[in-house]
Structures are given as C-alpha cells and as structure tokens.
Structure 1
Amino acid sequence: MNRDTAFQKFFIPLVYSLVFIVGCLGNGLVLLVLLKHHHLRSTTDIFLVHLAVADLLMLITFPFTVAEYSFGWIFGDFMCKSVGVFSRLNFLCSSLLLGCISVDRYMAIIHAVHAFRTRSGMAVYLSCFGVWILSFLLSIPNLFLLGTQNNGNLTECTYSQKNFTDNSWWQANRFIIHIVGFLCPLFIMGFCYAHIVAALYKSTRREKKRAVRVAIVITGVFFLCWTPYNMTLFLDTLDILDWVQDCMLRMHLSTAISVTEVLGSVHCCLNPLLYAFVGVKFRNDALRVLQQAGCLSLRLLGKTLTPERKSSIMDSETGTVLSSF
C-alpha cells in the first residue's frame, strides 16, 4: 500500500470520525441550551440555532465519507447523488448563516439605535428560511454531476470527468463553491467585522476588547479552514480546463483536495466554540444543562460558574448594544 493510499484509507476516516463525534456533541449542546433558554436570547441566537442545525446535518454525511474512504462507495448511485446534494446544501447554508450573523452584529453595533427598534424575530426567521431555500436551489447541480464510478477494485462517488469544458452544470457547480460558498460569506464577514473592530478599537472597556478579539477570530478561523480547500479546488479547475499544465501538480491534486476538505470540515466543530462557548452567559447555561442532565455535580457547578455582569453591553456614549458572546 503506497503512502497516499494509507493516508486516505486510515488517517482521513479517523479525522472525520473525530470531527463527527465532537461536532455532534458540541452542536447538540448548543441546540439544547439555545432552545431551552430561547426566551432569554437575542435575534443573533436564532441564526445560531439554524447554524447548529446546518452543522449537525452536515455532520450526518460524514459516516458515508468514512465508509467511502475505508471500503469504497457501497450505497449505490441514488445515495451518492442524495448525500452529495445534502452535503452541499448544508455547507452553503452554514457559510451563508455565518455571513448573516456578521450582518446581524454589524447592525446591532454600528446601527444600534435604528436596528434594535426595527428588527423582529419574524424577519430573522424569514432570512433563515431564505438561506435554506437558496442553498437547496444551488445544490441541485450535484444531481447531474455526481455518480458512482469504478476505480480499480473500489467504487467511488465522484464527479464525472466528461466534457467539463462544455458542461454548464459543472461550471455552475464550481462557481457556486468558490463565489457563494466562500468568497461572498468571507467578504461579508470581513466587511462587517472590520467596521465593528474600527468602531470598538478605541474603547478602553475590557468587554469591548473581547468583542474585537472574537470578531477577528471568527473571520480568521473561517479563512484558515476553507481557504486551502478553495485554492486547491481552483487549481483543479484550472488543471481540468488545461489552463495550467503541470505533471507534479496533477499527481498530488487529488490528495490535496482530500486533505484540505478535511481541514474545512473541522469548522463544523469550531462553530460551537466560536459562537457560543466563548460567552459567559452561554457557558453558564450550558453548565446548568449538564448539571440537570446528571453530567455535572451541584458542587462542581458552583465552582465552574463564571460571574455574569449583564446579558448585553451598553455603551453610555453611543447607545451601542453588543450582543452577548
């Protein structure tokens, strides 16, 4: 067994399995806490609920990926297309919801007086519904591109390599990945958080400094997780179109795509940490839920709870309200 085969058959399934377990536990706890304390939460938390659902549904496809890397695709052509559509749907939904959260916090901080008087839960629910519908429509090309193919002794669920230059479905699929799934959310997050950082940078209050740090981490982690995959996929696009002809590049592209895709998948585990567990209020609520479930003793709960000041931070000069992290 060569090095690449051993890497793809054992290491990648192991990573996906760990991400699946940690991601399900983390996002499941996020859902449990947010739904249990829904009456105490902000509009941002509505987006967080949908984000946790999208990540959980994305994680459901990981066992299929683990099985394919270990044994080949054994689930048939219909499941190949279905899992592909399902995976793309939740990938796009997760990315777009991250953008929505950045816009929500931008409106709350930069345009606080107007935003908090006009925003409503119904508007947020409609936004989430629109994200799900758009993501579903943009996932349809996978029905026409994915299929099972024999590769030696193994069957793969993969994209057809026929007539890529003339296949508008394939071109649309790659356009959706690069533009809608990565560049647009990254641009929106960068724009919103850059303005938030600029607005809060001069503040001397520790809570605001924390908000600045979290904003930078949110954008940075998304960039670090998904940029390698998108760059590798872009090189693959150029290679297929014969715009780049490099034998060494062609030899390692398949492995590079697999590795960078694993790195991107880790983002499903990081979302609960970035958007929920860094917040004092949420962390305390999560500890209480664990205590009620019998996973944490009352004595230990008292030692681990962090004192809470307020559920939101009010700037006395500008009236800016920061959603609690």
Structure 2
Amino acid sequence: MNYPLTLDMDLMNYNLEDMYKELGNYSDSTESPVVENHLCSMVEGPVLASFKAVFMPVAYGFIFLLGMMGNILVLVILERHRQTRSSTETFLFHLAVADLLLVFILPFAVVEGSLGWLLGTFLCKTVIALHKVNFYCSSLLLACIAVDRYLAIVHAVHAYRHRRLLSIHITCATIWLVSCLFALPEILFAKVSQPHHNDSLPRCTFSQENRAETNAWFTSRFLYHLGGFLLPMLVMGWCYVGVVHRLCQAQRRPQRQKAVRVAILVTSVFFLCWSPYHVVIFLDTLVRLKTVGYGCELNGYLSVAITMSEFLGLAHCCLNPMLYTFAGVKFRSDLSRLLTKLGCAGPASLCQLLPSWRKSSLSESENATSLTTF
C-alpha cells in the first residue's frame, strides 16, 4: 500500500512499525525495489527479461574472460618486480586482487538472472559480500593512491624504503579489514527469497523481514553511499587538484607526470563506471524511505536502471588492465617481455598494435622508473 507525501492526518498516524512491515515486503536479486503485486511485476516487461536471459550471459562471459586474463597478467607483472615495487604499484596489486574476486562472481550473476538463485544460502552470502568487498576495496585503494601521490608530489614526503613499505602493507591490510566489516550486514542478513508468483524466480537478496534486518539494510546503504563512494571521491578530487596545481607550478618531470596521469585516468574510469549505479541506488533508497512517490511505473524504470547501471559497474573489473596497457609505458614493456618469454608474441609486437605506441620505444620504457610501471 502506498501513502501520499502530503502531511495529512493519515500520514501523521503512520508509524515506524508500519514502515518496517512494508519494507520487509521488498525483495530483489541485488538492490532493486520489490514489486508489491503481480501487476507491478509485469511492468519490467520483456526488455529487462531479454537483457538478463540473452545479453547478460554473453556480455558477462566476455567480461569474465577479459577480466580474469587481464588482472592475472597485472598480478604476474607486478609480482615479478616485488622487490622494487613502488607504493602505488602495491596499491594497484591489491586493486587487481579485488577485481579478480569480482570477476569470479560474474558467472553466479548470469545464472541468477536466467534461472534464479539455486545455490543455497551460504553461496548467496558469499557472492553478495564479495561484491561489496570489491567495491569498498577499489574505492579505498584509489583514495590511498591519490593520498600517496599528493604527499609525494605536493609535500615531497619521503621515507626510508623498508619503513614506507611496511606502512603501505599495513594500510592495505586495514583496507581489506574495513571492507569486510562494511560488508558484514550482507554476510549476516543475505538469504534466498522464495518466489511470490508462478512466473518469478528465487533470488539472492538482503532480507528485510523485521526491524533489525531493516535497520541493517539502512546501515548498509548508508555505508555504501557515504563510506564507499562519496567520501573516497572527495578525497581523490581534493588530492588530484592539489597534485595538478603543483605540477603546473613546478618544472616538468615526465616520469612523475606519467604516473599521475595514469592514476587520474584509473580514478576517472572508476567514477564513470560506478557513479550511474550510485545515483540510481540513491533514488531507490529515497523510494524505499517513501521520500519520493512509489508506483508500478517507477518500479519498472528503477529495475531496468539498476540492472543496466550495475552491469556498467561490474564491467569496471576488466578495464584497469587495459588502462595500464594503453597508458603505462613500462607496463607495456614488461607485458611484451612476459608474452615473449611465454612464446605468445614477439619483442615489439605490443608496440606495433597502435601507431601511437611506435613513438615510445622499448628503450624508453627500460629507463623509466617504477612510477611508470603501471
């Protein structure tokens, strides 16, 4: 039942207990609002059903293969330079691990979109938690990269190598721990919801059947919007504005500029991939709080928007290796040598793929510092 937004007596008598009861009726595969009756379930129409049944398996399969191969290559290349790895490269190593974890849950999303969730509660909790851990890790690691570049360039902060590496490893461990803590509501309250209609499917969803579960859902949404996206993006924006301003004032240092360029590029792609999903999810949060009106038509649009924008966000897990390859001179050199060693390519084959690459020879990348490895 929907309630008007005008402040009449009926709304004044509408208490929190009623709201919790209604929120408990929501159910969806990831984040989308629930359909209250069979008529609303028909609003999604054939577009979303076709997307989940036809386009999603093909697209997610492509992302899975590309993301798995790309991120494994990144890990192998960075691991080969473990002793000389910079602080930024250490953060990128953990970012690749997080993206690889997200890649492994894509087949589960494909199966659920086509057949419903058939794998039990344990895997349901695991998959949803990994989804959240990946996002928190990615945003927090990118924020750390921004802070690291800011301190190194704007304030010229340098430390002894062994002490600096120790602090970086502690920071990365803390990020993983915080990400797991932020995903705790999903671990505790995710479950398999049973179909409400003959044409619906079981879904892996966040349970909201009582007050405690609804409070946990609100907490999860609050952490997702604020701690996982807004605050990290503000930190990144502040740091990179300071870095760019400093570089514009100082003499040009190509190696340092290349490192900052790739870091800003990776951050920008993360923002472009995940910001649409956060806008839609924020609107969905307002709908569930009844801050904006709710109806079958809006539910249908939200379901489609959430599915499409989530697809864009998940596609981010395969983009970072491409960015390193296109923008990182030394990374291309390391990748070319690795493929040559494996017998997959000639020494200069990567440089021949694009005309712009021919301008930067392998000898240039040999002389590059570790800042341009990525």
With normalisation by structure 2, the TM-score equals 0.77
CA displacement at 1:32 relative to structure 2: 0.4
One of 127, 133, 158 as aligned partner of 1:115 = 158
Change (3 A) 1:285 1:149: same
Greater relative contact order (Cα < 8 A, sep 6+): 2
Q: Conserved in 2, the CA contact under 8 Å of 1:164 and 1:170? A: no
Gaps of 5+ in 1: 314-321
Q: Deviations over 1:133-155 (max 9, x none)?
A: 11111111002332112333521
Which whole-Å CA distance do the structure 1 matches of 2:212 and 2:169 have between them? 40
Residue 219 in 1 paired to residue 267 in 2?
Answer: yes
Q: Deviations over 1:47-103 (max 9, x none)?
A: 111111111011111111111112211101221112111221222112211111111
Residue 193 in 1 paired to residue 240 in 2?
Answer: yes
2:363 corresponding residue in structure 1? 307
1:316 corresponding residue in structure 2? none
1:156 corresponding residue in structure 2? 203
CA displacement at 1:213 relative to structure 2: 4.4
2:12 corresponding residue in structure 1? none
Which whole-Å CA distance do the structure 2 matches of 1:301 and 1:5 have between them? 40
CA displacement at 1:168 relative to structure 2: 1.6
1:129 corresponding residue in structure 2? 173
CA displacement at 1:165 relative to structure 2: 9.7
Give SS of 1:244's match: coil
Which whole-Å CA distance do the structure 1 matches of 2:324 and 2:152 have between them? 16
Give SS of 2:319's match: helix
2:282 corresponding residue in structure 1? 234
CA displacement at 1:277 relative to structure 2: 4.9
Q: Deviations over 1:159-188 (max 9, x none)?
A: 235457982211111011111111122111
Residue type at the aligned position of 2:247 = L
Change (3 A) 1:246 1:299: closer
2:31 corresponding residue in structure 1? none
CA displacement at 1:44 relative to structure 2: 1.4
With normalisation by structure 1, the TM-score equals 0.88
Q: Deviations over 1:99-130 (max 9, x none)?
A: 11111111221122x33457611110000000
Residue 177 in 1 paired to residue 220 in 2?
Answer: no
Which whole-Å CA distance do the structure 2 matches of 1:193 and 1:49 have between them? 21
Q: Conserved in 1, the CA contact under 8 Å of 2:189 and 2:213? A: no
Q: Which has the larger radius of gyration?
A: 2
Give SS of 2:202's match: strand
Q: Count how many residue pairs are aligned between Structure 1 and Structure 2.
A: 316
Identical pairs, percent: 43
One of 277, 286, 299 as aligned partner of 1:250 = 299
Which whole-Å CA distance do the structure 2 matches of 1:130 and 1:38 have between them? 20
1:82 corresponding residue in structure 2? 126
Which whole-Å CA distance do the structure 2 matches of 1:52 and 1:277 have between them? 17
Change (3 A) 1:200 1:135: same
2:321 corresponding residue in structure 1? 272
Deviates more, 1:77-86 or 1:146-155: 146-155
Q: Conserved in 2, the CA contact under 8 Å of 1:226 and 1:264? A: yes
Which whole-Å CA distance do the structure 2 matches of 1:233 and 1:163 have between them? 22
Q: Conserved in 2, the CA contact under 8 Å of 1:47 and 1:101? A: yes
**Superposition map of 1:282-301 within 5 A:** 282-298=331-347, 300=349
Which whole-Å CA distance do the structure 2 matches of 1:246 and 1:6 have between them? 25
Change (3 A) 1:300 1:256: closer
